[in-house]
Chains A and B, each alone.
Chain A
Amino acid sequence: MATPLNAPATADIIARATALFEDLSFTSAREWKAAKPGRKVIGYMPIYVPRELIHAADMLPLGIVGGGDQLEVIHGDAYYQSYICRIPRSTIELGVSGRIDFVDGMLFPSICDVIRNLSGMWKMMFPHVYSHYFDVPQNYRDDIGGNFYVNELAELRHDLSELRGKPITDDELRHSIKVYNENRRLVRDLYDFRAEKPWQAPAAEVYLMVRAGLVLPVEEHTVMLRDYLAAARAEERPMRDNCRIVLTGMFCEQPPLNLIKSLELSGCYVVDDDLLLVTRWLIGDVETAGDPLVNLSSAFLHHSESTAAKYEPNQKEKGQHLVRAVKRTNAEGVIFAAPSFCDPALLERPMLQHVLKDAGIPYIAFKYAENSGQMQPIREQAGTFADSIKLWSAA
């Protein structure tokens, strides 16, 4: 495919996404806020919040996923014992150091006890900021969990309306749902493209592209995704003799970018992952006709990703999402990579491994922290895994 003359190349797009990723002061979000009086920014943590509600209030949803490996945590460590994961301490560091002092509200989704307790800490440490624990149902019946969730959505809608100073209308919400549907379609396209030709869309690039969606206005991110897909499809890149793996367990605290790069360098193409799930939590389009809160609820209950923070009511279904991901992407194995001290991921892991074992899918497991510096052990482990897959395949 020929690239249009004025179309950006992948390198340019990735350079921008990298700059956004590295900017721990969130300059682009600050600029967005400053561009028009009265604009507000609402931060949110992993794994899922209905960004449509924030968007419908003319606010910018800003994904906060910790400080990564470039942030020196000075104050945050004083709030946590050594056996608590990294993401809450670096998030506090972002708060205490003023890096997110422009954020008007913070949402703490229901994911684990650490993030849950962080919601209370935030209320105490930043009392001037709207702070809300966003609960989601673990019951998936429309008339039970659905009713609860619609009311929780209504409460959030009410709070955001108060912050904005005027109600969020149904039409505004329907428009936002459409905008996010389009964005999710493109993220899915990106994932499909990578699964098809992982050498054309390296995992680190895909990560940066999706990560940009946490800080950019959704409309801008949609354009960026479209541009990247066009550019990536047009470029010819060498195909390595890598095996194809699904990466799982990284839905909350993020790995260092170098870790993702290291996996590919050691012989593993990442063809699916659970990084930054908020961008594709809802699997299909959300219905736009009818009551928008009911539609968001229905999508959450019936068409959302499986992950450790959700209860799986059906034992037979437990872990099958991973088997399906492997089949859908023609993967040859699974890498379990969980943050140290991440209860959901680490408690889930043995159950998923049993399912994979029954399905005859090879796997390995390791832990990381967002500030892990030593990649050599991970390279060696992933490299050995890739080699063993090739050997088994040859046999």
Chain B
Amino acid sequence: MTTQTKIVTSRAPVKEAVKDASMLKQKEMMAAHYDRLTSAPETGDKVAATFVPGNLNELLMCFDLLNNLPEVNAIQNGLRRVSGSYVLEAEKIGHSEDVCTYVKSDIGMMAKGNLAPNGKKFPNPDVLLLSYTGCFTFMKWFELLREQYKCETIMLHTPYMGDGKITKNMTDYMVKQLKEEVIPTLERVSGVKFDIDRLREYLKKSTKAEDDLVRVLQSAKSKPSPIDAYFGGIYYIGPIFGAFRGTQDAVDYYKFLREEVEDRMAKGLGPVTPDGDMGKEKYRLVVEGPPNYTSFRQFWKMFYDEGAVVVASSYTKVGGVYDFGFRHDPDKPLETLAEYCLGVYTNRSLPMRIDMLVNYINEYEADGLLINSIKSCNSFSAGQLLMMREVEKRTGKPAAFVESDLVDPRYFSAANIKNRLESYFQMVDQKRAGVDAAA
């Protein structure tokens, strides 16, 4: 289970990234998915574009629709370091420098040929399923795509948990949208009749994968943590937040991943990093906010070089919060989809988000909180300075703040971030020394 392979990434002519077996397995899954997508014009498969938070993959599969996620494409473009040129292209054709760089990467990619990571052209979507769960920008994003593709667009409005609770009115509203707007339109677009038992079967598979994902994420409570729940976590959430939730592939992947992680845990090993096994775990952190993707590896290295492992992160809950008990429930298939959408991290009120972070720091015995504030993501970023203070106040643990962007390389200042991180680790050391002295 601890098989590790050194592979040469396409963009790194000299450096080799170490990947564990589950990463390689996921890579194959993703490649196969992109091949399915780009082959759609030949196979006749129909394609639905939709978003990660609140994505209804099980429902789309009921209509034999392939799921294409523009955010994931933007991430791929960030990791492959082509998003910068796409962002510039979008700005050249009139998009503001102030707005979400996922959107601009997507728009720029379209303008420059709409090529998938496999080098083939993405098919035009047959339908845009617009769930703007947790982020208003999604709504504008798909209005922009609709303008280009001129295809059917379905709005699924997820109310915001402003008062920290899911009300019956919210769930009823969402179920009614699903029954009377979303499903009939998907039937029309796909030509496939909706079968609720088929949905139940997919949901059963989702639940299995979710159980294993939670086991993986909660393995970070061990010392040392066998995983990095932020940088490594990005890989762990890939299938379930993307086009695989509800599939047997996802069930198999998460079982495989769980066994791999449990094996590492049994052996007392830390996380696998791109440079191999991490050395001694010196700092345990909770991280709030998305990562930077254009310098992902460099950013991660700043942590593992210092012996810092992320034991819990909020970003890995953006496509579903499972670790506080939620599971898709096959016995109430539409209600469970509604509750899933309502509960994703960015659809939670700021006090709820703070409660989660405090909980993570306590439960995972973390040394503190680090916020990576994203320039072009108001959904995450607005309010983070208050979150930082509040978490510090409630846990007594130090918090720090770095700034970067999702996929715009212009906003990644390595020296600045490194300086701040080094200062932060010193702060943690001082705090520990103070506690030790007091004891």
A354 interface contact, C-beta 8 A = yes
The reply to whether B144 and A347 form a contact with Cβ atoms under 8 Å apart is: yes
Q: Are A147 and B176 in contact (CB under 8 A)?
A: yes
For A301-331 the 0/1 string (1 means CB < 8 A from B) is 0000000110111010010000000000000
Is residue B147 within 8 Å, beta carbon to beta carbon, of the partner chain?
yes
* Cβ of B351 under 8 Å from chain A: yes
Name A151's contact: one of B146, B155, B169, B180 (CB within 8 Å). Answer: B169
Interface 1/0 per residue, A114-154 and B, CB below 8 Å: 10111111011100000011010111010111011001100
- Which residues of chain A are within 8 angstroms of B130 by Cβ–Cβ distance? 311
Give 1 or 0 for each of B329-369: 1 = CB within 8 Å of chain A CB: 00000000000000000000111111000000000000000
Whole-angstrom CA separation of A311 from B177 in the bound complex:
15
Contact A312 B143 (CB under 8 A): yes
Number of interface residues of A (CB under 8 A): 59
Which of B144, B150, B162, B172 has a CB less than 8 Å from the CB of A351? B144
Residue contact B160 to A135, C-beta cutoff 8 Å = yes
CB-based nearest B residue for A119: B162
The reply to whether A144 and B181 form a contact with Cβ atoms under 8 Å apart is yes
Q: A232 → chain B, closest Cβ, in Å?
A: 37
- Complex: A133 Cα to B130 Cα, angstroms: 22
Please, how many angstroms separate the alpha-carbon atoms of A119 and B159 in the complex? 14
Residues of B within 8 A of A349 (CB): 94, 96
Closest to A149 in B: B173
Q: Is B140 an interface residue (CB 8 A)?
A: yes
Is A110 an interface position by the 8 A CB rule? yes
Closest chain A residue to B93 by CB distance? A350
Contact stretch, chosen from A42-50, A336-344, A378-386: A336-344
- In the complex, which residues of chain A have a beta carbon less than 8 angstroms from the beta carbon of B403? 81
Say whether B292 faces chain A, with CB atoms less than 8 Å apart: no
CB contact between B386 and one of A125, A138, A308 (< 8 Å): that residue: A125
Residues of A within 8 A of B93 (CB): 350
Q: Please state if B143 and A120 are interface contacts (CB–CB under 8 Å).
A: no
Residues from chain A with Cβ under 8 Å of B192 in the complex = none
Q: Mark B171-196, 1 if CB is under 8 A from A, else 0.
A: 01100110011000000000000000
Residues from chain A with Cβ under 8 Å of B162 in the complex: 108, 116, 119-120, 132-133, 135
Chain B residues whose CB sits within 8 angstroms of the CB of A120 once the complex forms: 162, 349-353, 383
- State in angstroms the CA–CA spacing of A189 and B323 once bound together: 56
CB of B163 within 8 A of CB of A113, answer no
8 Å CB contact of B382 from A80, A108, A155 = A80
Verify if A78 is at the interface (C-beta below 8 Å from B). yes
Give bound CA distance, A314 to B326, whole Å: 35
Stretch of B35-43, B65-73, B252-260, B372-380 lying at the A interface: B372-380
Report Cα–Cα, A155/B159, bound state, in Å: 14
The answer to whether B383 and A112 touch across the interface, beta carbons within 8 angstroms, is: no
| Closest beta carbon of chain A to B115's beta carbon, Å | 22
For chain B, the count of residues having a C-beta within 8 Å of the partner chain is 56
Contact, CB under 8 Å: B147 / A144: no
Q: Which A residues are CB-close (under 8 A) to B385?
A: 78-81
How far is it, in angstroms, between the C-alpha of A338 and the C-alpha of B99 when the chains are bound?
12
Contact of B349 with A343 in the complex, beta carbons under 8 Å:
no
Is the CB–CB distance between A138 and B350 below 8 Å?
no
| Complex-state Cα separation, A78 to B389, whole angstroms | 11
Cβ of A348 and Cβ of B140 under 8 Å apart?
A: yes
> In the complex, A132→B349 CA distance in Å?
11
**Chain A neighbourhood of B167, CB < 8 A:** 155
Instruction: Say yes or no: B373 contacts A351, CB within 8 Å.
Output: no
Alpha-carbon distance between A365 and B319 when the two chains are bound, in angstroms: 36
Contact call B350/A88, Cβ cutoff below 8 A: no
Q: Which residues of B contact A338 (CB under 8 A)?
A: 96
A83 close to B (CB within 8 Å): yes
What is the distance, in angstroms, from A284's C-beta to the closest C-beta of chain B?
24
Q: Within 8 Å of chain B (Cβ to Cβ): is A353?
A: yes
> Measured between alpha carbons, how far is A155 from B167 in the docked complex, in Å?
11
Chain B residues near A81 (CB-CB < 8 A) = 373, 375, 381, 384-385, 403
Neighbouring A residues of B316 by C-beta, 8 Å: none
* Measured CA separation A347–B142 after assembly (Å): 11
Interface flag for A84 (CB, 8 Å): yes
CA distance in complex: A188, B159 (Å): 31
Counting CB contacts under 8 A, is A346 at the interface?
Answer: yes
Nearest B-chain residue to A77, judged by Cβ: B385
Say yes or no for B214: interface residue by CB 8 A criterion: no
CB of A319 to closest CB in B, whole Å: 10
Q: What distance in Å separates the Cβ of B325 from its nearest Cβ neighbour in chain A?
A: 22
Q: What's the Cα separation between A349 and B91 when bound, in Å? A: 12
* CB pair A347 B383 closer than 8 Å: no
Task: Tell whether A119 pairs with B349 under 8 Å between CB atoms, given A80-B382, A135-B162, A145-B157.
Answer: yes
**Docked-complex contact A346 and B98, CB < 8 angstroms:** yes
B137 adjacent to A343 (CB under 8 Å): yes
CB neighbours (8 Å) of B352 from chain A are 120
Q: Can you show 26 pairs from A to B with CB atoms below 8 A apart? A: A81-B384, A84-B382, A114-B378, A119-B349, A120-B351, A120-B352, A121-B350, A132-B162, A133-B162, A138-B139, A139-B173, A141-B180, A141-B181, A145-B157, A155-B169, A311-B130, A313-B153, A344-B136, A344-B140, A346-B98, A347-B95, A347-B99, A347-B137, A348-B140, A367-B96, A367-B98
Where the two chains meet, the residues of B that have a C-beta atom closer than 8 Å to any C-beta of A are 93-96, 98-100, 103, 130, 132, 135-137, 139-141, 143-144, 146-147, 150, 153, 155, 157, 159-160, 162-163, 167, 169-170, 172-173, 176-177, 180-181, 349-354, 373, 375-376, 378-379, 381-386, 390, 403
Which A residues have a C-beta under 8 Å from some C-beta of B?
Answer: 78-81, 83-84, 88, 108, 110-114, 116-121, 123-125, 132-133, 135, 137-139, 141, 143-145, 147-148, 151-152, 155, 308-309, 311-313, 315, 318, 338, 340-344, 346-351, 353-354, 367
